[in-house]
Amino acid sequence: MNKEVLSLLVDNHSGVLTRVASLFGRRGFNIDSLTVSATDNPAISRITIVVQGDEQIIEQIVKQTDKLEETREIFALDPNRSLFRELLLVKVAADETNRSAIREVATIYKAKIIDLCMESMVMELTGEPDKIDSFLDMMKGYQILEMCRTGITALERGEAHHSFN
């Protein structure tokens, strides 16, 4: 099974996300990650979807999604020519016995401590999915109280070549 990151440029109006997600559900395609964001054109939104499947399944996903009326463009992002990022917020139990050790791990991974109280610490980390995974592996030695992870958002490197037509 291949993991593929798809970028969709869609009309920015209500119901588009529902139509895209419904298409995946009806066809039995599982979405690993989904993010939606504005673009420099207020009439267009970018949906980044991470899916798994063999080449035939990915091809079918692209063809079916391209048929939606609101889809302006859909393309797979080449990992060698694209930038992938995620945001993680994690709250860890922290007291005087482990606060320094947690801060040290945060420093190594360049995580920002954005909240600190007597019983816990909240950290923010952005980066490639592998970096987020590694940081979370290090945090397994501590008590994670809460966690929120955005999912992948991505852009191709270099000059933009995708149009809004």
Give me the residue spans of the domains in the chain. 2-76, 83-153
The amino acid at residue 19 is R
What is d(CA 26, CA 100) in angstroms, rounded to the nearest whole number?
49
Strand 2-11's sheet: what is its strand order?
31-38, 44-53, 2-11, 71-76
Q: What is the pLDDT of residue 161?
A: 58
Low-confidence ranges of the chain (pLDDT < 70): 160-165
Q: Assess if CATH 3.30.70.260 describes domain 2-76.
A: yes
For the entire predicted model, the pTM comes to 0.84
CATH number for the segment(s) 83-153? 3.30.70.1150
Q: The dihedral of CA 153, 158, 161, 163: what is its sign?
A: positive
Q: What are the φ/ψ torsions at residue 25 (nearest 5 degrees)?
A: -65, -45
Phi-psi region of 106 (alpha: psi -120 to 50; beta: other; left: phi over 0): alpha
Q: What is the pLDDT of residue 53?
A: 86
| The domains spanning 2-76 and 83-153 adopt the same CATH topology | yes
Q: What is the pLDDT of residue 28?
A: 84
What is d(CA 26, CA 150) in angstroms, rounded to the nearest whole number?
24
